[in-house]
Amino acid sequence: MFDYQAPSQLLSGKIILVTGAGDGIGKAASLTYAKHGATVILLGRTIKKLEAVYDEIERNGNPQAAIVPLNLDGASEHEYLELANTLKSEFSQLDGILHNASLLGDRTELKHYDPTLFDQVMRVNVMSQLMLTQALFPLLEQSPAASIIFTSSGVGRTAKPKWGAYAVSKFATEAMMELFANELTDSNPNIRANAINPGATRTAMRASAYPNEDPQTLPTADDIMPLYLYLMGKDSLTINGQSINAQ
């Protein structure tokens, strides 16, 4: 596991948006960021799940969260700008984005891959990250030190058979992270971009990709949080353009 012990108030006063905040790793990251002092903006498509995370943050006595319902599949530029305007009216800056939401798609060879599904996976896993980052850029620029974290995968580095659109989307995610990191170095040195490869983690997506695996043998989303904290906080200020394993 990535070795980092976060100070208890590492993210105190920070405003952080997490996509796919209602379940799996995104839920764990939202609860963890809030526990370390951040105001977390919970973005996702299933409001009931977001409300459950919101309530848990409240029960824990952590800074009040905000809920942003958005289906990343096909959201228009206008919807992203509206979202940015809503956040601008509530918050003066944004200190972090965790791009976490993803679709698995089918575990099928490319020659049989349904183009409609391929397109959907690319919209949710790739396009949404570009449009969300662009829309929120003016708010990121207001932060003295903003961190954008992308979520990669082992198949974002080696395209193993039958990982289809998901693998293509994770290679694209790695490229998008590197582009932002390299371009921002000169123009916006207060904003850094990195990627996390979570590794095999006990979530619904993992269970659907590996139905015959015993989930109890896998680390939980809570177990992999040290890297999520490290890259969001001040101890990683000099880290930019890196793709790092959480395990």
Q: Site for ligand NDP (CB under 6 A): how many residues?
A: 27
Helix residue spans in 71-203 (DSSP H): 77-90, 115-122, 128-141, 164-187
Within positions 170 to 229, which residues make up the interface with ligand NDP, using CB under 6 A?
Answer: 198, 200-201, 203-206
Q: Does 62 help bind ligand NDP (rule: CB under 6 A)?
A: no
Nearest approach, Cβ of 83 to ligand NDP (angstroms)?
12
Within positions 110 to 149, which residues make up the interface with ligand NDP, using CB under 6 A?
Answer: 124
Nearest approach, Cβ of 186 to ligand NDP (angstroms)?
29
Buried b / exposed e along 211-241 (16+ C-beta atoms within 10 A): eeeeeeebeebeebbbbbbbbbbeebeeebb
Helix, strand, or coil (residue 208): helix
Closest chain position to ligand NDP (CB): 24
26, two tokens:
């995104």
Among 11, 14, 22, 135, binds ligand NDP (CB under 6 A): 22
CA distances 175 to 179, 183, 202, Å, are 6, 12, 26
Concerning whether 166 is annotated as a catalytic residue, the answer is yes
Quick one: how far is CA 167 from the chain centroid?
A: 17
Instruction: Tell me the catalytic residues.
Output: 166
Residues that bind ligand NDP (CB under 6 A): 20, 22-26, 44-46, 49, 71-73, 100-103, 124, 151, 153, 198, 200-201, 203-206
